[in-house]
């Protein structure tokens, strides 16, 4: 029993050692930055008509199975596309 207690104390002494601070560089932080206003594409440039179509499709309720909800129902743009729920409802 004494050896077991000593082994546990040794294990705890190693577990309680101070770890070096974690450094995060700017490239890692950039992954969490807000999305850019637009993603430039040479082969498929954004046009006002395409942007309008995107908005219309995003808010169109008739695209859902029962016609009652749009993409924005769950993916609120004001909340950066998340609903704040811990688990998805659908």
Q: How would you write the pLDDT of the chain (90 residues) with one tens digit per residue?
A: 777 777 767 766 666 656 665 677 777 777 777 766 667 788 888 889 999 999 999 999 999 999 998 988 888 888 888 877 787 776
H helices of the chain, where? 2-15, 26-30, 48-59, 71-74
pLDDT of residue 48: 94
Cα first-last separation, the chain: 54
Residue 5 in any domain: the answer is no
Is there a domain that residue 61 lies in? yes
Instruction: Judge contact between 55 and 48, C-beta under 8 A.
Output: no
Cβ proximity of 11 and 17 under 8 Å: no
Domain membership flag for residue 8: no
In terms of residue numbers, what domain contains 79?
44-89
Residue 26 domain-assigned (yes or no): no
Task: Tell me whether residue 51 is in a domain.
Answer: yes
Per the structure, the count of domains in the chain is 1
CB 70 within 8 A of CB 61: yes
């Amino acid at each position: 029993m004494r050896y077991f207690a000593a082994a546990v104390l040794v294990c705890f002494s190693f577990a309680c050692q101070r770890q070096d601070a974690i450094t995060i560089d700017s490239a890692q932080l950039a992954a969490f930055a807000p999305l850019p206003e637009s993603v430039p594409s040479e082969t498929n440039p954004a046009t006002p008509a395409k942007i309008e179509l995107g908005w219309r499709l995003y808010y169109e309720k008739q695209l859902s199975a029962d016609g009652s909800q749009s993409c924005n129902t769950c993916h609120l743009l004001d909340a950066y596309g998340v609903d704040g729920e811990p688990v998805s409802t659908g």
